[in-house]
Structure 1
Amino acid sequence: MKTVRKANLVLMFLALTFIIGCKGKSETNQKVDELIIVNYSEEDLYRPNFHFTPKKAWMNDPNGMFYYNGYYHLYFQYHPDSNVWGPMHWGHAISTDMISWTEQPIAIYPDELGTIFSGSAVVDISNSSGLGEVSKAIPIVAIYTSSKKLEGNDNWKQTQSVAFSNDEGKTFTKYENNPVIDNDKIKDFRDPKVTWDDDRNKWIMSLAAGDKIMFYESKNLKDWNLLSEFGQGIGGHGGVWECPDLFKLPVIGTNESKWVLFVSINPGGPNGGSATQYFIGDFDGTTFTMDKQFETALNEKHDYWIDFGRDNYAGVTWSNATRKNGGKLMLGWMSNWDYAQKVPTENWRSAMTIAREVQLQKNENGYRLISNPVKELANYRGRKYKKENIVIKDDTKIIDAESIDLAKTEIQFNISNLEETTYTFKLSNHNGEELLFGYDNIKKEFFINRKKSGKTSFSEKFANKITLAGRTSTNDNLSGTILLDKTSIELFYDNGETVMTEIFFPNTPYTKLSIESKNQEFILDNIEVHELNFN
C-alpha cells in the first residue's frame, strides 16, 4: 500500500508573501503548490514483480525441482517462523511456465533425524523405488539431507533421507528406514542431487562432502553404493562445497555430448561471498573426469562460473525437464550469504532468479556454458519501445518511467564495432540514487556498481566494491539482455556467455535509463525495451 501525505506549508506561504510584498508586487491569483511526499510500503518498493518470493519469512536454496503433468515444482529452503535462517523445512511453489508462481503449503517438516536441508526430487516413472501407488500416480521421490544439531558450536550430524509422494508432490511421507546414507565422520555432508543415467539404467547421486563431491549409484533410490570422488584441489576452494548437480548436455551444433557438474561454494565466489562454479568432462557411470582442454583452461584461469554477479547461488536444474534442443532448465537463489540475512526487507527475505536455459557451446577456446532467460518470459511482453542508431554523447537518456515501467522490464541491445572506451548504463531516480553497469572495452571487463544504488549500509559487504567479470567473447560487437525487477538486475551478455545478477534497494523506484561513454561518442545500433505484464 502506498500513502500520500500533504506537508504543512503555512510558514512557506507566509515567507513567500513577505518576499512578494517587499518587491511591491500584487499577484492575487498566485498559488503555491502543495509539497507531496510519497511513502512507499515494503511491498510496493521491494516485493518483486516477477521473481518468486515466499509470502512471508526466510527462504534460501532452491531444491527438489521437477516437472510433471504440466507443472514445474519448486521446493526451497524455508524457515517459516523468522526472516533469518533457522530450522529448515521444504517450502513449495508451482508454476505452468516457470515465471508466475503459486505458493503451496510446506511440503516436508523437520523430524527426529533433524531439519530438512537441500536435496532433489525425481519422477520415478517405473516405480523403481517401490514407493508408488502406480494405479493412482507415478511416485515423486525426494532425497534430502537430514541435519541434526549436536552439542558444541557449528556441530552437526548430516545424513541422507528419502520421502515420497503419491499426489504429484503436494504431500510427502518419510521413508520408514531413513537415513538411506548414514554418516558419522564428515561434518559437511549434504545436498544430494539425483539424476537418471540413461546410458547405464541407474540412478546417480552427487553429494557435497566438504571440499569434494561424492558420487553414489542406486537401482531403487533407497540402497546406495559409493562410486568415486571428485574435486579436492580442483577449481575454487575458498569455502565449503555445496549443492552439486551432474547432468549431460549436447554441444551446440554437433553430435557431441559432455557431462556438466555444478558446484556451489561459500565463500570463494569471483566477487566475494557465495557463487556457483562448473566443470565440463565425461562420466563413465563411475567417475567424473574433466575434459583435458577444459582442465588446461581452468588451471590457467578459473573463469568458469554460472554467474559472475554476487546474487545467484545454489542453482540446480529441474528433473524430468529437458528442452527439445537438449538444454536444461535451472533456477538459483538470488542473494549472497555475505548479507542475505540483513537485507532491508522484514516480512520476507530473498527471491529466486529468473528461470534460465543452460546450453553448452564449443569454440576455439574450448567448452563454455551459456545461459539465457527461458523463452516463456516473452509471453508477458506488453508495451514496447524500440529505437535504432542512437548517438550516445555524454549522459544520454534512453527511456524513462513515463514510457515504460522500469521495475518490470526486458531490454535487448546491440553495439557494433566496439571502441576503446567504457560503455556505462545508468538506472537513476529523483533522489540521485543510481545503479551503474556496463562494459569497459579497454580492460575487457563487465561491471556493476551499486555503491550509490540506495540502501547499502545494512552490510559493509553489500556495496564495498565494484563487481567485475572478464569478457570471454572476442566478438567486435556487444549484445545483451537486461532483466529489471524492482530490486534486481540480471545481465546476459554475448548470448549468455557472461551472466551477472545483483540485487539493490533504492529508496524510491528508478525512473530513468541512460547511457554514457567516456571521452567520445558512439552509436547504439538498436535497443528494444519491453514492459512485462503481470497480474
Structure 2
Amino acid sequence: MRPAFHFSVPDNWKNDPQRPIFLDGEYHYYYLYNADYLAGGRGTAWRRATTRDHVAFVDRGVAIEKFTDGNGDCWSGSLVVDVDDTAGYGRGAVIALVTQARTDQVPEGAQAQYLWFSTDGGASFGPGGTDPVLADPDIAEFRDPKVIWDAVRGRWFMALAEGDRLGFYVSPDLAAWQRVGEFARDDLGLLECPDLFEMTASDGSSHWVLGVSANAKHRGLPATYAYWTGAFDGAGFVPDAAEPRWLDWGFDFYGAVTYPHHTPTGDEDATVRHAIGWANFWDYPHNTPTLLTDGYNGDDMIVRDLRLVPDAGGYCLASAPTSALRDYTTREHRLGDQEVDGHVDLPLHLAAYDLECVIEWSVDALTPTSEVGVDVCRAEGGTRFVGVGLDVGAAQVFLDRTMTINPTRGRTRAPLDTSRGRVSFRMLVDRTSVEVFVDDGRSVQSHRVFPLPSDDGIRLYARGGSATFRDLMIRELLVPESSVPAHESEEAR
C-alpha cells in the first residue's frame, strides 16, 4: 500500500515535516523519525531526504539522532543556512533550532529550544552545547521554533508555539534570544508549527503571511494550516482580517511547512512558494494498515506550489500540485467532454493518478443541478468509494471518506462560489490518499484513505440536472524508487 507518487518514510514512523533548505542545487528535507516504532520504542530523530524537483526524494539517513545529548529526543524546529557566520560555526554552517524536553527536569518534560549545527552540508549535526538557547519552564507548551533572517533589521527572528499564542523573539547570533512580541488566538485550539514569510502576489504587491497548525474543529473549521496575510514590523504581526484562511479544509494536512522556491541560478523567487504537510492527524496517528502491508507508518501529502492571488476577501494562497509531478506521467487518458445526466462509469481501473477537468452544471431554473462529482477508489458494485463533489445548493465542495476504509468516517466541506456554473477541478488519487484542488487551487481538501487493491473504479455523476466534465484528462503516475533508502537504491541499480 506504499504510495506510488507521494513521499513516505522508508520504515517505521514519520510525523512532522521540517522546513526544507536549499543547498548546492538540492532541497534538503528533514522530518521527525522513529526507528524503533515497530518495536514499541518512543522518541524521534531528524531524518533527511533530498530532492531537486519536490517529487522524487532520495533518502539520506538520520541527521540528528534521538536521545544523544542528555536533553531528550528531538521534536520540531527549523533550519537556516548561516551565510555570514553569525553563530560562530563557520560561514555556510547549517544551524537547527530544535525543541527538546528533558524528563529529569522540574517541571518534568519542560520544553526548551536547543541549537544543533552542521559543517558537512546538513548531513550530520552536533549539539551546540548542553544548555538550551531559549527556555521558559513556566510555559507548558513552548516549542516548534521557526526562524527566519530579518534582512531589514539585520537579525534573526523566531516565532515559537506557546499554547494559544505565538511568541516572537529576536537574536543576533541564534543563541541569545529576546522576546519582542506575540500573536494570540484563544479560539483555534492548540497552536503548533508556526510559519512566517513574505511573498509577491500575482498583481505585483508584496505581503507577509503568518501561518500555524491549528485545531478549530470545535468551530466547525479544519484542523490543518491556518494563515493570515498582514503586516510584519520585525517584532509583531498585524493581520489584514481577524479570521484565518485555511490552506486545506480536509482531515489530513497537519504540521505543514512552507519553503522558498529557487530558480536554476539558486535565487529565491518570491512569487512561488512550496508547501508540504503530514498526511495524518493526532486523533488517529497509529491507525494504518501499512504497518502490516509495508512495515511503516508515515506519508506526506503532495508538495504544493503556492501563489498569492487577490480575491474578494483580500489575498489568498492558491495551491497546485507541484509542477514537476507531470514529469512522472506513465500514461495519459484524454477523455474529452463527458456529458453526464445520472452517472457514467469510466472504462478505467487505476490506483494512482491525476484527474483534471472543468466541471460545468445546469443553472436552468426548471432543472438545476443539485450535486455533481466523482466517486473514486470505487469497488465493483459501489459498496466502497471516496466521494468528491460539488453541493451546488449549499455552495460547498466536499470530500467524503465515509464509504471506504479510513481512520475515521466523515465528510469535510469547504465554501465554493457556484454563481458561474463552472469551476476548475483537479484530484490526486494514490494508494493511501485523495486530494482535491478546486477553483484554481483556492480550495483544497486532503484525506487519508485505505482502499482495497480492487477498489479502483471511477464514476462521474450529476444529480437534479446535467453536468459536463470538459477536457477530462487522467494521467497515471509513478515515481520510481521515490521512497527507497539511498543504500538500497544503489544496490537496485
Q: Same fold (TM over 0.5)?
A: yes
Residue 18 of structure 2 is aligned to residue 73 of structure 1: no
Q: 1:507 to 1:381 in 2, by over 3 A?
A: closer
Which whole-Å CA distance do the structure 1 matches of 2:219 and 2:256 have between them? 16
Cα shift readout 1:158-193 (whole Å, capped 9, x = no counterpart):
000111111111000110253110221101100001
Which residue number in structure 2 is paired with residue 51 of structure 1? 6
Verify the 8 A CA contact 1:429 1:508 in the aligned structure 2.
no
Verify the 8 A CA contact 1:273 1:336 in the aligned structure 2.
no
Verify the 8 A CA contact 2:71 2:130 in the aligned structure 1.
no
Which residue number in structure 2 is paired with residue 178 of structure 1? 131
Counterparts of 1:223-262 in structure 2, within 5 Å, are: 223-233=176-186, 236-237=187-188, 239-254=189-204, 256-262=205-211
Question: C-alpha displacement at 1:248, in angstroms?
Answer: 0.6
Residue 37 of structure 2 is aligned to residue 88 of structure 1: no
Which whole-Å CA distance do the structure 1 matches of 2:351 and 2:104 have between them? 45
Instruction: Write the letter of the residue equivalent to 2:129.
Output: E
Higher relative contact order (CA 8 A, sep 6+): 2
Which whole-Å CA distance do the structure 2 matches of 1:231 and 1:386 have between them? 49
Supply the RMSD in Å over aligned alpha carbons. Answer: 2.3
Identity %: 29
Verify the 8 A CA contact 1:269 1:275 in the aligned structure 2.
no
Which whole-Å CA distance do the structure 1 matches of 2:278 and 2:148 have between them? 21
Which whole-Å CA distance do the structure 2 matches of 1:253 and 1:418 have between them? 33
More displaced stretch, 206-215 vs 70-79 = 70-79
Which whole-Å CA distance do the structure 1 matches of 2:362 and 2:156 have between them? 48
Which whole-Å CA distance do the structure 2 matches of 1:327 and 1:389 have between them? 32
Which whole-Å CA distance do the structure 2 matches of 1:451 and 1:473 have between them? 25
Which residue number in structure 2 is paired with residue 409 of structure 1? 353
Counterparts of 1:375-454 in structure 2, within 5 Å, are: 375-401=323-349, 406-416=350-360, 419=363, 420-427=369-376, 428-430=378-380, 432-453=383-404
Which residue number in structure 1 is paired with residue 93 of structure 2? 139
Verify the 8 A CA contact 1:450 1:466 in the aligned structure 2.
yes
Question: C-alpha displacement at 1:320, in angstroms?
Answer: 7.5
Which whole-Å CA distance do the structure 1 matches of 2:221 and 2:47 have between them? 28
Which residue number in structure 1 is paired with residue 83 of structure 2? 125
Q: 1:270 to 1:352 in 2, by over 3 A?
A: farther
Q: TM-score with structure 2 length normalisation?
A: 0.88
Q: Secondary structure at the match of 2:286?
A: helix
Cα shift readout 1:450-501 (whole Å, capped 9, x = no counterpart):
1221x34xx5xx10x3211122575442102211111111111111100001
Q: Secondary structure at the match of 2:149?
A: strand
Question: C-alpha displacement at 1:438, in angstroms?
Answer: 1.3
Question: C-alpha displacement at 1:271, in angstroms?
Answer: 6.1
Alignment match of 1:275 (pick from 214, 217, 224): 224
Q: TM-score with structure 1 length normalisation?
A: 0.82
Question: C-alpha displacement at 1:80, in angstroms?
Answer: 1.1
Alignment match of 1:514 (pick from 438, 453, 459): 459
Verify the 8 A CA contact 1:418 1:476 in the aligned structure 2.
yes
Q: 1:189 to 1:310 in 2, by over 3 A?
A: same
Which whole-Å CA distance do the structure 1 matches of 2:380 and 2:449 have between them? 16
More displaced stretch, 417-426 vs 382-391 = 417-426
Question: C-alpha displacement at 1:323, in angstroms?
Answer: 5.6
Instruction: Write the letter of the residue equivalent to 2:137.
Output: D
Verify the 8 A CA contact 2:261 2:269 in the aligned structure 1.
no
Verify the 8 A CA contact 2:14 2:298 in the aligned structure 1.
yes
More displaced stretch, 416-425 vs 328-337 = 416-425
Cα shift readout 1:319-371 (whole Å, capped 9, x = no counterpart):
68576352211211011111121222211112011111222222232222211
Q: Secondary structure at the match of 1:518?
A: strand
Q: 1:319 to 1:253 in 2, by over 3 A?
A: closer
Which whole-Å CA distance do the structure 1 matches of 2:55 and 2:33 have between them? 20
Which residue number in structure 1 is paired with residue 255 of structure 2? 314
Q: 1:473 to 1:226 in 2, by over 3 A?
A: farther
Which whole-Å CA distance do the structure 1 matches of 2:337 and 2:451 have between them? 31
Which whole-Å CA distance do the structure 2 matches of 1:87 and 1:389 have between them? 52
Which whole-Å CA distance do the structure 1 matches of 2:362 and 2:175 have between them? 56
Verify the 8 A CA contact 2:13 2:33 in the aligned structure 1.
yes
Instruction: Write the letter of the residue equivalent to 1:55.
Output: P
Alignment match of 1:371 (pick from 319, 343, 346): 319
Cα shift readout 1:231-279 (whole Å, capped 9, x = no counterpart):
234xx42x3110000001112113x211111111246487678422111
Unaligned runs of 5+ in 2: 364-368, 481-493
Aligned length: 463
Instruction: Write the letter of the residue equivalent to 1:361.
Output: V
Question: C-alpha displacement at 1:85, in angstroms?
Answer: 8.3
Which residue number in structure 1 is paired with residue 487 of structure 2? none
Verify the 8 A CA contact 1:271 1:309 in the aligned structure 2.
no
Which whole-Å CA distance do the structure 2 matches of 1:319 and 1:121 have between them? 13
Q: 1:525 to 1:69 in 2, by over 3 A?
A: same
Q: Secondary structure at the match of 1:521?
A: strand
Instruction: Write the letter of the residue equivalent to 1:207.
Output: L
Instruction: Write the letter of the residue equivalent to 1:265.
Output: A
Which whole-Å CA distance do the structure 2 matches of 1:328 and 1:172 have between them? 27
Alignment match of 1:98 (pick from 54, 67, 70): 54
Which whole-Å CA distance do the structure 1 matches of 2:170 and 2:420 have between them? 43
Q: 1:417 to 1:286 in 2, by over 3 A?
A: same
Which whole-Å CA distance do the structure 1 matches of 2:343 and 2:360 have between them? 19
Verify the 8 A CA contact 2:342 2:462 in the aligned structure 1.
yes
Cα shift readout 1:112-167 (whole Å, capped 9, x = no counterpart):
112111001011122222212x4xxx211111101223589x95210001111111
Which whole-Å CA distance do the structure 2 matches of 1:500 and 1:176 have between them? 42
Which whole-Å CA distance do the structure 2 matches of 1:509 and 1:131 have between them? 55
Q: Secondary structure at the match of 1:340?
A: coil
Q: 1:434 to 1:85 in 2, by over 3 A?
A: farther
Which whole-Å CA distance do the structure 2 matches of 1:475 and 1:356 have between them? 26
Verify the 8 A CA contact 1:264 1:314 in the aligned structure 2.
yes
Verify the 8 A CA contact 1:397 1:513 in the aligned structure 2.
yes
Instruction: Write the letter of the residue equivalent to 1:249.
Output: M
Unaligned runs of 5+ in 1: 1-45
Which whole-Å CA distance do the structure 1 matches of 2:27 and 2:41 have between them? 25
Cα shift readout 1:14-56 (whole Å, capped 9, x = no counterpart):
xxxxxxxxxxxxxxxxxxxxxxxxxxxxxxxx11111111121
Which whole-Å CA distance do the structure 2 matches of 1:212 and 1:524 have between them? 44
Which whole-Å CA distance do the structure 2 matches of 1:61 and 1:202 have between them? 27
Larger radius of gyration: 1
Which whole-Å CA distance do the structure 2 matches of 1:217 and 1:85 have between them? 36
